[in-house]
Structure 1
């Protein structure tokens, strides 16, 4: 399968692993990485999000984890062939059984979000079969530092239930980004960020396209250090 080329690294892809997509790019570009030193990505897929975050913060150390062996191998390959290889490691493991004494300043995830079904397409990566919201949140709470941030991208419709579980687990929402696919449309995704400490809530509206197949100025500015855009 053809590699996806960014300005500073390439992402090798596989038919057996969820491919590079806008959700991952948005989380990689918007997650608050600036103050983080130890970062955990849950469900790495290709490793895209960690690679983007590593480019944004040259001091941070990264650990990726994925239950899918094919994804873990693909992540390792993409990490090892990147300019940030010395700061990136990953493991093949079930996050529900992941144990460590290490605490993380930032935990990021583009989690599975479709209810379980009979479909075999991207079954682990995109269905709540192996990791549901409660499991993801409760394990992340245990691994956060006192000042740490838990950052996810989920469908807009899942926002209310995800937030309820997070709050019941002792987290406070600090940031909410509503993402529209195109101007004037309904929000389709949410980036939600939580921490163990209550802070003022920051809200942001974000639009990907200003018209069909025409990226918005907001998206172009956000991703200018990553995407290789074709010249008009």
Structure 2
């Protein structure tokens, strides 16, 4: 499978690991990493999100964790081949049993979200198979620093349940970005950020495409420092 080339790094891909997609790019570009010194990516896959965040924050250190040996191999390769390699680390481990004395200023993830499916494609990465929302949230709550942020991208349909489970684990919604696939459509995804401190909710909207296969100005501006756009993408 061909690598996906960004301006400052390259992502080697595999048919057995969830590939570079819009969800990961959006989270990598929008997650609040400015304040963070110690970042954990849960289910790192190819390492895309950590690499984007490393480009945005030149001081933070990153740890990726994944249960898939193939994914860990890819992430290792992509981390080592990047100009940010000295700040990137990756491990093979089940997040449910992950133990560390470290606390993280940012925990970020594009989590599994299809409850059931007959397809074996991307089974671990795309389904609620190895890590359900409750396990993800409760473990993240344990590992966050005092002012840490938990940042995710999920389908709109599961947003209310996710927010409820987070609150039960003393994580309160502080930022919500409503993602629209195309202008004047229904909300497709949510980027949600939580912290252990209750604060006034910051809410905004984001549109990916202004028309079919034509990126919005909002998306072009957001990802300009990452994507290598073709001329037709901008028209």
Give the shorter-chain TM-score range: over 0.9
Instruction: Give the Cα–Cα distance (whole angstroms) in 2 for the partners of residues 207 and 231 of structure 1.
Output: 20
User: Which stretch shifts more, 117-126 or 47-56?
Assistant: 117-126
Aligned counterpart, 2:122: 122
Instruction: Give the Cα–Cα distance (whole angstroms) in 1 for the partners of residues 79 and 204 of structure 2.
Output: 31
The answer to whether 1:45 aligns with 2:30 is: no
TM-aligned CA deviation for residue 116 of structure 1? 2.8
Aligned counterpart, 2:87: 87
SS at match of 2:231: coil
1:181-222 Cα offsets, whole Å, 9 max, x none, are 000000000000000001111001000000011100000000
TM-aligned CA deviation for residue 117 of structure 1? 3.0
The answer to whether 1:220 aligns with 2:220 is: yes
SS at match of 2:72: helix
The answer to whether 1:192 aligns with 2:192 is: yes
Instruction: Give the Cα–Cα distance (whole angstroms) in 1 for the partners of residues 211 and 66 of structure 2.
Output: 36
Aligned residues: 232
Q: TM-score, normalised by structure 2?
A: 0.98
> Unaligned stretches of 5+ in structure 1?
none
Output the aligned Cα RMSD: 0.6
TM-aligned CA deviation for residue 95 of structure 1? 0.2
The answer to whether 1:4 aligns with 2:4 is: yes
Superposition map of 1:98-137 within 5 A:
98-137=98-137
> Unaligned stretches of 5+ in structure 2?
none
Superposition map of 1:73-84 within 5 A:
73-84=73-84
Instruction: Give the Cα–Cα distance (whole angstroms) in 2 for the partners of residues 231 and 115 of structure 1.
Output: 39
SS at match of 1:141: helix
Instruction: Give the Cα–Cα distance (whole angstroms) in 1 for the partners of residues 94 and 172 of structure 2.
Output: 26
Instruction: Give the Cα–Cα distance (whole angstroms) in 1 for the partners of residues 211 and 118 of structure 2.
Output: 35
Instruction: Give the Cα–Cα distance (whole angstroms) in 2 for the partners of residues 5 and 18 of structure 1.
Output: 16
Q: TM-score, normalised by structure 1?
A: 0.99
Superposition map of 1:97-176 within 5 A:
97-176=97-176
TM-aligned CA deviation for residue 109 of structure 1? 0.3
The 4+ residue runs of structure 1 with deviation greater than 4 A are: none
Instruction: Give the Cα–Cα distance (whole angstroms) in 1 for the partners of residues 107 and 60 of structure 2.
Output: 12
